[in-house]
């Protein structure tokens, strides 16, 4: 059961890493306020909240 939980929490974390890298690239290219940066931040926040919910539900058992 714990292995399934760990794999489930890895999915949003990996998406978060990809979007954070894209956001970092935009910042290094001196374009931090472009549309793709805003979308990346939105997806990062959703993934972080999903990860939080998964860990909160996993520790309450």
Q: Please write down the HEC assignment for all residues of the chain.
A: CHHHHHHHHHHHHHHHHHHHHHHHHHHHCCCCCCHHHHHHHHHHHHHHHHHHHHHHHHHCC
pLDDT tens-place string over residues 32-61: 899 999 999 999 999 999 999 998 988 876
Question: What is the predicted pLDDT for the residue at 61?
Answer: 61
pLDDT at 21: 96
pTM of this structure: 0.84
Q: Number of structural domains, the chain?
A: 1
- The parent domain of residue 12 ranges over 2-59
C-alpha dihedral, 15 to 16 to 17 to 23, nearest 10°:
110
pLDDT at residue 30 is higher than 70: yes
How open is the CA angle 32-46-36, to the nearest 5 degrees?
A: 25
Q: Which two tokens stand for residue 9?
A: 């929490």
């Amino acid at each position: 059961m714990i292995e399934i939980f760990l794999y489930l929490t890895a999915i949003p974390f990996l998406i978060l890493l990809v979007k954070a890298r894209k956001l970092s690239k935009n910042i290094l290219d001196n374009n931090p306020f472009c549309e793709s940066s805003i979308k990346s931040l939105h997806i990062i926040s959703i993934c972080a909240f999903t990860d939080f919910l998964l860990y909160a539900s996993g520790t309450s058992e």
